[in-house]
Structure 1
């Protein structure tokens, strides 16, 4: 699940000597509004369609633009989660990938990153999502899993986020393999766990849009 595994080779980098008209043609061809800018193999930032339209001169060189988001990159050996984190921080739909010598390797699109992350968390599997609130000192995934398994249900994956209102608490999001949560919730609550929310998924074919929606619910976004 390292970043370099998900590089999209269909998105070409722009060079300083490229003209803006050509940049717009590439954007239209691959249906994007942003392209990476490189110089001698080094990532400089992102060129956005809106910035090109502001100049409105197809003969102007891309190098005359000040690129956006020069920090929108990750090293190639970083986990796909880091790609999603940088994307959110930089508010960008693509993230550049560099090797440890800071040489440009390509970009990862958010569509590819989300699909990969969803796969890693078993988001596409049928089942349910359960969100618990607990003190950090009380967290024991093995104990929580034992209680859940006592109801013939298995934990497929888990995700922890801190509580923005209380730094001593965490939210634990669990993907379970069974859609029925009534008995699992009752067992957890009987042992003192607080259930914040839950999502019971319907059976059937899951579309890409549904998978992304499931991922955002799993991450409690």
Structure 2
């Protein structure tokens, strides 16, 4: 499920010249807690309610708050399921989506992801997503991949945003892969499982269940 097929184009974007008060009104009018700032189609960052709380005056422009913008974004050709760790960690209800050139193309919302998982996400190819706080002095990406492959797992894609490594794995023994990684000293912060698993860590499966209980 590529993100591009599930974008929301209805929500507005903000401009750097928008005032804090106008931004607050826009958020309330759309029933959302964050929006993207876009200039000449280029994605600048995400303004959240926490960002606006840093303002000294409602008349300030959001350009004054740029250092508080969230710069997190995903590209339109990524898998929808790769958004799970972000949504699980954050109270923000959407992700800004860009093309490979960094141009804003739309939003992926938490409700869209939840609905997709409820309807078909658990019927996709078996596997899951692993989130690892990666330390180069301690961890080795090649070793992590080798451990996964030894259990007949296939690394579909990986994403690194220091210090977090997110790996999407296709496998029928997701629970066993998690156990082996931990046995080799790899700290697993969170894991999300989908598909019919031969072995499932119930606690981690519950992470996913809590996420889709919207």
TM-score (norm 2): 0.59
Change (3 A) 1:104 1:197: closer
Query: What do the CA deviations read for 1:181-214 (whole angstroms, capped 9, x no partner)?
Result: xxxxxxxxxxxx877659xxxxxxxxxxxxxx79
CA RMSD of aligned residues (A): 4.0
Residue 209 of structure 2 aligns with which residue? 216
Distance 1:171 1:86 in 2: 12
> Does structure 1 residue 160 correspond to structure 2 residue 153?
no
Q: How far has the Cα of 1:172 moved from its partner?
A: 7.5
> Does structure 1 residue 19 correspond to structure 2 residue 19?
yes
Change (3 A) 1:63 1:83: same
1:1-221 matches, cutoff 5 A: 1-66=1-66, 67-70=68-71, 72-88=72-88, 92-122=92-122, 137=150, 160=174, 162-163=178-179, 165-167=182-184, 175=196, 197=202, 215-216=208-209
Structure 1 gaps, min length 5: 124-134, 141-156, 177-192, 199-212
Query: What do the CA deviations read for 1:75-125 (whole angstroms, capped 9, x no partner)?
Result: 1111101222444466643211111221101111112112223333347xx
Q: How far has the Cα of 1:46 moved from its partner?
A: 1.3
Change (3 A) 1:8 1:86: same
Aligned partner of residue 18 in structure 1, secondary structure: coil
After TM superposition, which residue ranges in structure 1, 4 or more long, deviate above 3 angstroms?
Answer: 85-92, 135-140, 167-176, 193-198
Structure 2 gaps, min length 5: 124-147, 154-170
Q: Is the 8 A contact 1:158 1:172 kept in 2?
A: no
Q: Is the 8 A contact 1:19 1:62 kept in 2?
A: yes
Residue 133 of structure 2 aligns with which residue? none
Number of equivalenced pairs: 162
TM-score (norm 1): 0.57
* Structure number, greater radius of gyration: 1
**Whose strand fraction is larger, Structure 1's or Structure 2's?**
1
Aligned partner of residue 65 in structure 1, secondary structure: helix
Q: Is the 8 A contact 2:32 2:93 kept in 1?
A: no
Distance 1:25 1:93 in 2: 17
Q: How far has the Cα of 1:28 moved from its partner?
A: 0.7
Aligned partner of residue 53 in structure 2, secondary structure: helix
